[in-house]
Chain A
Amino acid sequence: MSGLELVGTVERGSFTARVELRVAPGEVHAVLGPNGAGKSTVLRTVAGFEALRSGRLTLAGEVLDDVQADVFRRPATRRVGTVFQDHRLFPHLSALDNVAFGVRSRGAPRALADATAHEWLERLGVARFADRRPAQLSGGQAQRVAIARTLAAEPRALVLDEPLAALDVHAREEVRDALTEHLRDFPGPVLLVTHDFADAVALADRVTVLEAGSVVQTGTVAQVAAAPGTDYVARVLRGTGGTPSSAPR
């Protein structure tokens, strides 16, 4: 398979989760589950911030992590772009320099990196904030700059860790629209971690539901919506009526 494939056990601290995930190129795959179900650990394992406990992780047929074969590729060499809940823009760099950072890390000369960065800021509709520091941006603006930064680095796969959860209702709308547009255009596999079914409906093609450390259901968004596999899924579905269901944490 040419997409992203993770079959194995992920681990963080004393927590482990048994996971089987296959994401095709161009597919947006949501990992849905309550807090503490292991969603973020799955994402961190794909990004390379955690190692697999057992099993294998491949991207486009290339092994990123294989416990048996003793292979572990460091995050910097995986080209898995990550969008974090807390944008994680470098506080000492302007929006433009933040986006150019990833382009330059891939070897582009400064002028080209700046031009590329500017282009991406434009695509995300935040070019007018190019010279601002992250502290001078609103939550929605900062997250859009962070998305530009991740995409500008030309990743082979994308992982998004609750990219809307830290935003207020208005900013959430703004960033969700930006994501809808740019995830559709992204050629590689996309993994979206969320606890909000509305996000999955808006952004994802397929859903895997993770509860208490194991996969309880997987299918297209429509399949899962039509036949929720567990009480949790049913409850989350009922919460998607109008306002987003995610309660502030």
Chain B
Amino acid sequence: MSRRRVGHRGVPAAALVPAVLAIAFLVLPLLGLALRSPWARLGEILTTTTVRQSLALSLWTSLVATAVSVLVGVPLAWLLARGRFPGRRVLQAAVTLPLVLPPVVGGVALLGVLGRRGLVGRYLYDWFGTTITFTPTAVVLAQVFVAMPFLVVSVEGALRGADERFDEAAASLGASRWTTMRRVTLPLIAPSLAAGAVLTWARALGEFGATITFAGNFPGRTQTLPLTVYAALESDPDAAITLSLVLLVVCLAVLVVLRGHWLGQVAR
């Protein structure tokens, strides 16, 4: 016997048409990317010097940016979640601002501070004769700026939700706050930390606006994958499509991994 559905929360037919339109709009371009990919030239495109350089650059800069984000982002999340000091809420807002800020604005802001005539960059140039702008370091900094908030928000939320009973147990055993954080709290929120790191890495890998503004677009030096895609659009559209496909596949993989996390499957 089939179960009768008594739906008060069903979807009216009138909503189906726009919904299908929305799906088509979101999915068709991605499908088109796969369909228009020059599969025959795939190997050739992926092994050109420019592409290889930008692949390598993107890979290592995004990984370094993720590592930096974890290194300083976790303590920051800790401070925001557990610290008691005036202005905490303001700081919280400031830290999450890059999530909604146009990346190009981030790039301009970084230039204003670290550029050759920037607030800090001026002294770097005067004293050490170096500038960060237009170097791979600038690529990393741009990525950290836009991507770290993902890590901070994810870890801060987990720390807030972490069970304080275990902190009490650790303290009663004589463990310092540092030991407790390192050996109890962080391992317990490891799934959230991992998810935040993956999200951060994906965001860093896809970073475009702040990078091109602050680090420039120099092949082999600051031209990351998204910048190569943009540059190739005129000279070699096939390459642009192929590289876009590469980025798409990476993002799909990230989604699959994170979906596992949201469903609690990554947690041991």
Chain A positions within 8 Å of B, measured between CB atoms, are 47-49, 74-77, 79-82, 84, 86, 88-92, 101-102, 105-106, 149-150, 153
Q: Flag if A105 contacts B187 (CB, 8 Å).
A: no
Q: Which 7 A-B pairs have the closest CB atoms?
A: A102-B173, A82-B172, A75-B171, A88-B169, A105-B175, A105-B174, A76-B171
In the complex, which of the residues A48, A49, A86, A101 contacts B173, with contact meaning CB atoms closer than 8 Å? A101
A108: shortest Cβ distance to chain B, in Å? 11
Q: Flag if A102 contacts B168 (CB, 8 Å).
A: no
Given A88-B166, A90-B184, answer yes or no on A80-B172 (Cβ-Cβ < 8 Å): yes
User: B172, B177, B187 — which one has the most chain A CB atoms within 10 A of its CB?
Assistant: B172
A10: shortest Cβ distance to chain B, in Å? 16
- Besides A49-B168, A90-B169, A149-B173, 13 more A-B contacts (Cβ < 8 Å) are A48-B171, A49-B171, A74-B171, A75-B168, A75-B172, A76-B175, A76-B176, A81-B173, A88-B166, A88-B168, A90-B166, A102-B174, A105-B179
B32: shortest Cβ distance to chain A, in Å? 46
Cα distance A79–B184 in the bound complex, in angstroms? 19
Instruction: Confirm or deny: B188 has a beta carbon within 8 angstroms of a beta carbon on chain A.
Output: yes
Instruction: Confirm or deny: B165 has a beta carbon within 8 angstroms of a beta carbon on chain A.
Output: yes
Interface mask (B185-212 → A, CB under 8 Å = 1, otherwise 0): 0011000000000000000000000000
Cα distance A150–B172 in the bound complex, in angstroms? 8
**B174 proximity list for chain A (CB < 8 A):** 76-77, 79, 102, 105-106, 153
Q: Flag if B188 contacts A105 (CB, 8 Å).
A: no
Chain B positions within 8 Å of A, measured between CB atoms, are 165-166, 168-177, 179-180, 183-184, 187-188, 268
Cα distance A90–B168 in the bound complex, in angstroms? 11
In the complex, which of the residues A47, A89, A101 contacts B175, with contact meaning CB atoms closer than 8 Å? A101
B167: shortest Cβ distance to chain A, in Å? 9
User: B171, B176, B187 — which one has the most chain A CB atoms within 10 A of its CB?
Assistant: B171
Cα distance A76–B183 in the bound complex, in angstroms? 15
Cα distance A49–B166 in the bound complex, in angstroms? 12
Q: Flag if A86 contacts B165 (CB, 8 Å).
A: yes
Cα distance A146–B35 in the bound complex, in angstroms? 60
**B166 proximity list for chain A (CB < 8 A):** 88, 90
Cα distance A49–B188 in the bound complex, in angstroms? 21
Q: Flag if A92 contacts B175 (CB, 8 Å).
A: no
Cα distance A106–B183 in the bound complex, in angstroms? 14
**B173 proximity list for chain A (CB < 8 A):** 81, 101-102, 105, 149-150, 153
**A106 proximity list for chain B (CB < 8 A):** 174
A42: shortest Cβ distance to chain B, in Å? 15
Can you list 14 A-B contacts with CB-CB less than 8 angstroms, sorted by A residue number? Answer: A75-B171, A76-B177, A76-B180, A81-B173, A82-B172, A88-B166, A91-B188, A101-B173, A101-B183, A102-B173, A102-B175, A105-B170, A149-B173, A150-B173
**A101 proximity list for chain B (CB < 8 A):** 170, 173, 175, 183
Q: Which residue of A lies closest to B177 (CB)?
A: A76
Cα distance A34–B168 in the bound complex, in angstroms? 24
Q: Which residue of B lies closest to A107 (CB)?
A: B174
A177: shortest Cβ distance to chain B, in Å? 23
**A81 proximity list for chain B (CB < 8 A):** 172-173
Cα distance A77–B176 in the bound complex, in angstroms? 8
**A149 proximity list for chain B (CB < 8 A):** 173
A155: shortest Cβ distance to chain B, in Å? 8
Cα distance A90–B166 in the bound complex, in angstroms? 7
**B170 proximity list for chain A (CB < 8 A):** 76, 90, 101, 105
Given A90-B184, A91-B188, answer yes or no on A84-B175 (Cβ-Cβ < 8 Å): no
Q: Which residue of A lies closest to B165 (CB)?
A: A88
**A77 proximity list for chain B (CB < 8 A):** 174
B184: shortest Cβ distance to chain A, in Å? 6
